[in-house]
Amino acid sequence: MDEEIDDEKKGLSTRTMPLRLQREVGSLGYTHQQLENLKKEAMKGKRPIETLTETAPYFREKIQDCVIRENDEAVFRCFAVGNPAPQYSWFRNDGLLIESSRIQIKKSPDGRIELHLNPGKAYDVGLFKCVARNSRGTAVCHARLRVGGRPVLPICEQCSSHQIYVHWCNPKYEGNSRTLYFCLEMRETGATEWKKVSDTVTHEFWVVHDLKSSTSYEFRVSAKNHFGWSEVSLPSDPCTTEPEGSTQKIKISRAHKFQQDMAERGQGADQSAETALDYSREDNPVQLTTGGVQDLYSFVSELYVGRYGAVINSLAKEQKCAISLKAIIASSDIESSAKREYEILKSLSHERIVSLVSASFHDDLVILGLERLSGIDVLTYLTLRHQYNEDTVARIIQQVLDAVEYLHFRGMCYVELQPDNLVMKDEHTCNIKLVDFGSAQFLSRPVSERPQIGSLEYLPPEVLKDQELSPATDIWGVGVLLYILVSGYSPFLGVDDEDTKNNILYVRYHFDKLYKEASTEVTRFLMMIFKRRPEKRPTVAECLENKWLLPSEFMLRKREHSVFTSSRLQEFAAEFHSKKTKANTREKLVK
C-alpha cells in the first residue's frame, strides 16, 4: 500500500484509479467504473468494428399504467433498443420479480418484452418498474397497477319542470384505455327499478328530458372502454323537478348543447383501435412527391390558420385514410422552415409525435399530410374544465419529456416549445402529440447555419446568445411550459422584448405567481430546470426520475390534492390565441 502511494506521488503508478481513493471513498460506482476502464485498456487495439457503435438502452415503448379487476390478467409491455441488446429486470415496489406459474416474462420475436400476472390479485397493486441494462448504461420506466374504478356519483345541478341537468366525473383509473361511452340510468325516488336514459353518452353531462313535474328522481352512471363496462356509480342525491308551469329553464353552453345533439344523433366516440408504430420509417422515410393537389387529396374543411400555413381536414386518396393537411407557403425564409419541418418529420415514429402520412410539393405550397388529431391544444383542453389538478399537469409534462427524449435519441432538438405545439389526440383523455416542427433543428447543425427562430419568451439563454444547441435546450422549454400550467403566466415575459430578453439571460422569474395550491416538489423541479448554463440542467432521464414525476403512492395523492381553478389559465389562453391569430395571414392559402 505504502509503495503504491509513493509510486502515485512520483507519477509511476499505472492504476486507473488511485488505490488510496478506493479505500477511502470507494463505492460500487467506483468499482464498476474501474472495471470498465480496465476492460477498455485490455481491449485497446483489439476491439472489433461492430463494438464501436455500442449504445446505451433506450425505451422506444414504455410500460403503461394497468387497471384490472380481481383475477383478471395484468400485462405490462415495453420495448427497449441498444447495442449490445439490453437485458431486462422487473420490480414491484422495488422488489425484484421472479418468474413463477403466475408471474411470466415473455419476449416476442420483434423484441418487445411482456410481464404477465395471471391471475392479477389485489395485493399486486403498486408501482412496477422495468430496467433495461447493457454494458453502455441503464434505462428505467415506471407504471402503476390499480384496481378499476367507477364514475363519481352524478350531481343534479339544474332542473325545470320537465328537465334535469346531470353531470359527473370520469373514473379515476381507466385502464390505460379512454372511456368511450357512459350509460346514464334514472329512477323515481323510492322505486326499485332503474330505467336507461342513454348508453351512448360521450361526455360527462346530460340533460334528461320528458320528466314529470314535481317529482323526485335519482341517477347513476357507468363507463365503458375497450375492456368493457365499469361498475355503476352510487346513486345521486334526490332531485325534484319544478312544478308545472314554472318558468325555470336549463341553461347550458352552446358547446354542451352541440355535444348532446351529436350524442342523441348517435355520432359517438371513435372506437378505432390503436395502430402499431412503424419503426421501419426511420430507415425508409416518407418521400416528397409532386403532383396536382386535387389528385392526391380530397378537402373536407379548414381547421386552423397558423404561422406558416393552414391545417385542413382532408382525405388522402392513395393511403385511403383521414388526415390533417398542413399547407405551408414555400417562399423566402418560410420555404426553408417548411422543408426543414419535412426533413425532421419524414422519419419520426413515436407515440407522442404526430405521424407524417404523406408529403408533396405543389406550385408555391409544401403540403404535409399528418395523422388526424382533435385540434384541441393543451391550453384549451385544461380550460374546458372548471378546475384541473397537478397530477394532470404531471402527466402532460411526462408525455412531453417522452417526446423530446425520442428527438434527442434521433439527434434532434425541438428548440421552441409553445403550448399550441401540444395537441390532444382526442378531447376526452389526457394524451398529447407534439406537432409543428418548423423550429426543430438537428443537433449537428453548426450555429452559423441556424436560422432565426422563435417567440422570444419561450427561448433559452443559449439560443439568444447564438450558442450551440443541446438536449438541455428542450429541458428549458419544458420548464417554461410547466410554469405556465401551474401559474397561468409566462415566466419570463417582460414589458417589451428587451426586458423579456434580460429576464431570460439573467433567469429572472417569480415563484409568487404560482398557484398557492402548487406543491413544493413542483417548485423545486422548476428551480432545477431554470439554470442559465445548459450543462447544469437535468437530463430527460433525470427529470423523469424526479420525485415530482414519480408515480409513487405518496406523490400521486399529493398531486391529486393540488387542485387549480382554470380561470387564470383561461385568461392566458385567450391572450395567447389572440396573439397567434393576429400574427397569421391567409391570403396565399385561399385559392
pLDDT in tens, 95-131: 999 999 999 999 988 889 999 999 888 889 999 999 9
DSSP structure class, residue 86: P
Q: Do residues 118 and 192 share a domain?
A: no
* 272 assigned to some structural domain: no
Rounded Cα gap, residues 225 and 230, in angstroms: 8
Q: Do residues 18 and 131 share a domain?
A: no
pLDDT digits (tens, 9 = 90+) for 24-38: 444 444 455 555 665
Reported pTM: 0.77
pLDDT digits (tens, 9 = 90+) for 445-469: 766 566 666 689 999 999 999 899 9
Residue that wins the pLDDT comparison between 183 and 318:
183
Q: Do residues 559 and 426 share a domain?
A: yes
Strand 126-134: give its sheet, edge to edge.
66-68, 137-147, 126-134, 87-92, 95-96
How high is the pLDDT of residue 574?
A: 93
The range of the structural domain enclosing residue 170 comes to 155-264
* 271 assigned to some structural domain: no
How high is the pLDDT of residue 480?
A: 97
* 93 assigned to some structural domain: yes
Q: Residue 13 pLDDT > 70, yes or no?
A: no
Asked if 243 and 214 count as a contact pair (C-beta separation under 8 A), the reply is yes
What's the mean pLDDT in 84-101?
93
Q: What is the mean pLDDT of the chain?
A: 83
Q: Do residues 289 and 182 share a domain?
A: no
Q: Residue 175 pLDDT > 60, yes or no?
A: no
Q: Do residues 519 and 403 share a domain?
A: yes
Residue that wins the pLDDT comparison between 508 and 332:
508
Number of domains present in the structure of the chain:
5
Please report, for the domain that includes residue 165, its CATH number. Answer: 2.60.40.10
Rounded Cα gap, residues 15 and 454, in angstroms: 50
C-alpha pair distances (Å), 315 with each of 184, 368, 371 = 35, 12, 11
Q: Positive or negative, the Cα torsion across 415, 416, 418, 421?
A: negative
Q: Do residues 416 and 499 share a domain?
A: yes
Confidence band for 68, pLDDT divided at 50, 70 and 90:
confident
How high is the pLDDT of residue 22?
A: 44
Where among 352, 371, 390 does a domain terminate?
371
Q: Do residues 466 and 577 share a domain?
A: yes
How high is the pLDDT of residue 54?
A: 85
Asked if 59 and 80 count as a contact pair (C-beta separation under 8 A), the reply is yes
Asked if 90 and 132 count as a contact pair (C-beta separation under 8 A), the reply is no
| Residue 535 parent element (H or E) | none
Q: Residue 18 pLDDT > 60, yes or no?
A: no
Q: Residue 275 pLDDT > 70, yes or no?
A: no
Residue that wins the pLDDT comparison between 38 and 377:
377
Say how many residues make up the chain. 591
Where among 126, 147, 168 does a domain terminate?
147
b/e string for 231-250 if b means 16 or more Cβ within 10 A? ebbebbeebebbeeeeeeeb
